[in-house]
Amino acid sequence: MLNKDTHDYDYSNLVYTYDYSTSTWSALELGDDTVPPRQNIEGVIDNSGIIYIFGGFNATDLINEKGYLYNDMNILNTVSSTWKTLSISGSLPNKCSHYTANILPNGIIVYIGGIEKVSYGVNFTLVDMNKIKLFDTNKLEWSQMGTTGDAIDPRHYFSSVLTPDGYIIIFGGCTYSTASSSFSSVSPKLARLDTNKDTFEWSIPSGSEENSPPSIYGHTANLYHDFMIITFGFNLYTRLLASSARVYLYNIKSNEWFTTFSPTENKQTTTTTGPNKPPTTTSDAKKSSKSLEIVLGVGISATVFIICITVIVGNTKQSVKDKKQTNQNRQTVLCYDPPKRFLHNSVIIDDRLLIFGGYTNVSTYTYELFYLDLSNSFDNNKITWTLIPEGSLPVFTSRSTAILSLDNSTIYLYGGYMRNKDTHYYDFSNLVYTYNYPTSTWSTPKIGGDIVPARQNMKGVIDNSGIIYIFGGYNVTNLENNTGYIYNDMNILNTVSNTWTTLSISGDLPTVCSEYTADILPSGIIVYIGGITEISAYTTGFTPVNINRIKLFDTKKLEWSQMNATGDQIDSRIYFTSVLTPDGYIIIFGGCTYAATNADLSSVSPKLAMLNTNKNPFEWTIPSNSEENSPPSTYGHTANLYNDFMIITFGFNLDTQLYSSSGQVYLYNIKSNKWVTTFDPSPSKPSPSNTSTFFNPVITSPSSKKSSKSLAIGLGTSIGFNLDTQLYSSSGQVYLYNIKSNKWVTTFDPSPSKPSPSNTSTFFNPVITSPSSKKSSKSLAIGLGTSIGVAVLISFIFITIFVYRRTRARRTDQSRQNPDILEVPGSNRNELY
């Protein structure tokens, strides 16, 4: 046990309880016997609420993880909250840990496998799987049984579940070695122990190897209806942690591995009620409290018919909407707990902060895609992540860059350290992957043009014409030693034509650089800050870039320049972030100094600073309140701007030398220049009075939930190719030709073509009514049970309304044949005056 605050070992409390109803943890105060800490044990509980803990390991040397094995039996009475160490006569089993434990209906606890110490002075050894330890909780006696059947490899760090028909199913595990790096797989992966026979018998199900999981250990197994569910663990084949985006499902009835979980397989019916189970059917248990329960009398048939007609006519649109919402919910996993990470990517699309890539340690990469919902308020330490299972990345990647397309529909993922998901070898065969947000699919686009090598530790930006700019970066040439070269070239990816171009730029070029930040201004100038560069062309080694020496690239002139920023003193840094605010400030946060090894990286000061790009030269300032309630010194994180908030996610904490928590984000309010703990999406939703007058392709406004198709139409009409400049025409300008004066004009006035009041009054605007789609089922309260006459009367009313609407609709159709003005149904005619 590690203390959350100090991160030191802490055994002051050995038992904690979780109250599911209140979702709270608490330390349990226990009386009677004193029980020392134990590791690698498994407890079971009997029908009287007694928890049995057998043996286990007690680490006395925490640094070297050395200690002693035990064979005592400690019980915890959950009713009286008291510990007791049982005094048992007779032969005791060998000292043991890493076993599995299951309690049979007769009160016998079955202990299988693990490691044991057979005699003093002898190292630990694996327990023979055919020697089963049995503890009778009724008699408080030990016994041992020799099993029969198929041969099963000894193992530890495996799992077991007890099925309702008396089989104990074991899965996974590994051999024993003094070093975990020497652990190897066992055979078979899965086996069953039949406890119904007088002598327990091992068997290997015939279909248990087909579509089976990889060899894993340290996982968990839980039984739910017909399914044994395997979660997490360590993959012995890849030597990586098992994916958090996947579980393995074993059907205990068909004895097969499944890919789809269905909770309806083994649900109880009214024939399986017991003394503690109410005689309710599965369908009864699944009924919502909001469902419409109608207790009818004599007129039940007619009334049900009327209700069906009402629901069908009035709620068709809502049903379609609910169906779409249901389908959407099926594609996500709420309350997802993602692994901690750094050097990952993040983008914002439609009120969702999407996170992907990065790695949790030097050898474990992640490929899941998940998001934080920004449409609702939340506290920064109470985060709910949602997993998009079908959005998993096609490769493992870190130190890459992700750029969002102009229409917010596509993510372009480029570069980084890439590993093949199947072989886990480095794989740079495809340098660009695209994620289609509407369909939640990854693909590999076919890109022509120049050949661009793999790059790491760079950042891309996109201009208003859909050109992505990638400057310099690092190209690793020796993957074992992680050595390579830094570049200063400018490569552009045209997202319209899907072509690479390495720009040939005359004049002075900047020094080679990587690990910088990049932001594109409304003027088309890209601002590059910080990073590392070579010490000199003749000396090996890198040095931080002076943070005051700002690199500028003009995307219109394709020219480089440099500016020396003024203002407050800011430490040079790498692995930091930056965001561009609507009022022209670039806010940088975090990062670290440069060092040859990660262990020597240190924090920088200040953590946060602002670069005012409205001044010439640019000016650094340190907001006065930026240190108050600030996050710890962090690097390898991401920062995204959403309305008034800069949102910091994940990264590596230099203060604790641990990964930042996945259950917390940090929020900086760019208007008050303060770190805050509560996120509120409402303050900065755009209104006509405060919308920005320029389009910033880097900062996407979450309030604009317009269809990507409508945006594509706008781009298609306003963007072209300028033959004079050989550049795309600006998306910030359109050209106007007045067809009456036959002149080019610079001002657009919509008033001349607006219909006058005289020609709007002749238009018949049909009143289109539709039943409210938001009616709750509770709002329909029908007190019936009186007579058929009431039902007939209601039927007559509905039929009359139906005939009236059909007649009115026909008249409406006739009036639409020769209208004076075409108007969108539902539009407000008062706006014409």
> What's the CA gap between 745 and 54, in Å, rounded?
89
Q: What was the pLDDT predicted at 12? A: 85
Confirm whether 399 is domain-assigned: yes
Q: What was the pLDDT predicted at 798? A: 59
Q: Which among 695, 771, 684, 685 has a CA at the least distance from the CA of 732?
A: 695
247 and 364 belong to one structural domain: no
pLDDT above 50 (res 778): no
Confirm whether 32 is domain-assigned: no
pLDDT above 70 (res 374): yes
**What digits encode the pLDDT tens for the residues 436-457?**
999 999 999 999 999 998 999 9
**What digits encode the pLDDT tens for the residues 592-646?**
999 877 778 999 999 999 999 999 999 999 999 899 999 999 999 999 999 999 9
671 and 712 belong to one structural domain: no
Residue where a domain stops, chosen among 258, 277, 308: 258
Q: What was the pLDDT predicted at 480? A: 79
The model's confidence at residue 240, banded by pLDDT at 50, 70 and 90, is: confident
Q: What was the pLDDT predicted at 68? A: 86
Are 630 and 675 in contact by the 8 Å Cβ rule? The answer is yes
What does the pLDDT average to over 673-682?
Answer: 93
If one compares 807 and 765, the residue with the highest pLDDT of the two is: 807
Confirm whether 178 is domain-assigned: yes
Are 351 and 681 in contact by the 8 Å Cβ rule? The answer is yes
The model's confidence at residue 713, banded by pLDDT at 50, 70 and 90, is: very low
pTM of the predicted model as reported, rounded to 2 decimal places? 0.51
Bridge partners of 109, per DSSP, are: 103, 135
Q: Among 171-180, 260-269, 394-403, 708-717, whose mean pLDDT is lowest?
A: 708-717
CATH of the domain at 138: 2.120.10.80
151 and 86 belong to one structural domain: yes
Residue where a domain stops, chosen among 653, 688, 723: 688
Q: What was the pLDDT predicted at 107? A: 95
Residue where a domain stops, chosen among 697, 729, 759: 759
Mean pLDDT score across all residues of the chain: 79
Strands 678-679 and 559-564: unpaired
Confirm whether 92 is domain-assigned: yes
**What digits encode the pLDDT tens for the residues 489-538?**
999 999 999 999 999 998 889 999 999 999 999 999 999 999 999 876 55
Confirm whether 159 is domain-assigned: yes
Confirm whether 780 is domain-assigned: no
pLDDT above 60 (res 768): no
208 and 351 belong to one structural domain: no
What tokens were used for 180?
């975990």
Q: What was the pLDDT predicted at 279? A: 36
Query: Could you please report the per-residue DSSP string of 122-172?
Result: ---EEPPTTEEEEEETTTTEEEEEE-EES-----BS-EEEE-TTSEEEEE-
The model's confidence at residue 545, banded by pLDDT at 50, 70 and 90, is: very high
What does the pLDDT average to over 88-112?
Answer: 94
If one compares 827 and 6, the residue with the highest pLDDT of the two is: 6
743 and 613 belong to one structural domain: no
Are 636 and 416 in contact by the 8 Å Cβ rule? The answer is no
Q: Among 136-145, 265-274, 630-639, whose mean pLDDT is lowest?
A: 265-274
218 and 365 belong to one structural domain: no
204 and 62 belong to one structural domain: yes
What does the pLDDT average to over 667-694?
Answer: 71
Number of domains in the chain: 4
Domain that holds residue 745: 708-759
Q: Among 238-242, 423-427, 647-651, whose mean pLDDT is lowest?
A: 238-242
Q: What was the pLDDT predicted at 269? A: 35
Q: What was the pLDDT predicted at 757? A: 39
Report DSSP state, residue 730. P
Are 826 and 768 in contact by the 8 Å Cβ rule? The answer is yes
What does the pLDDT average to over 363-392?
Answer: 88
Percent of the chain at pLDDT > 90 equals 54
**What digits encode the pLDDT tens for the residues 787-797?**
455 555 665 66
Confirm whether 295 is domain-assigned: no
237 and 362 belong to one structural domain: no
Percent of the chain at pLDDT > 70 equals 71
Q: What was the pLDDT predicted at 477? A: 87
367 and 234 belong to one structural domain: no
**What digits encode the pLDDT tens for the residues 293-347?**
333 333 434 443 333 334 334 443 343 344 334 334 435 676 788 888 999 999 9
Q: Which among 525, 515, 429 has a CA at the least distance from the CA of 472?
A: 515
142 and 179 belong to one structural domain: yes
684 and 717 belong to one structural domain: no
Q: Among 228-237, 667-676, 752-761, whose mean pLDDT is lowest?
A: 752-761
The model's confidence at residue 274, banded by pLDDT at 50, 70 and 90, is: very low
Confirm whether 412 is domain-assigned: yes
Highest mean pLDDT: which range of 3-12, 178-187, 217-226, 275-284: 217-226
157 and 85 belong to one structural domain: yes
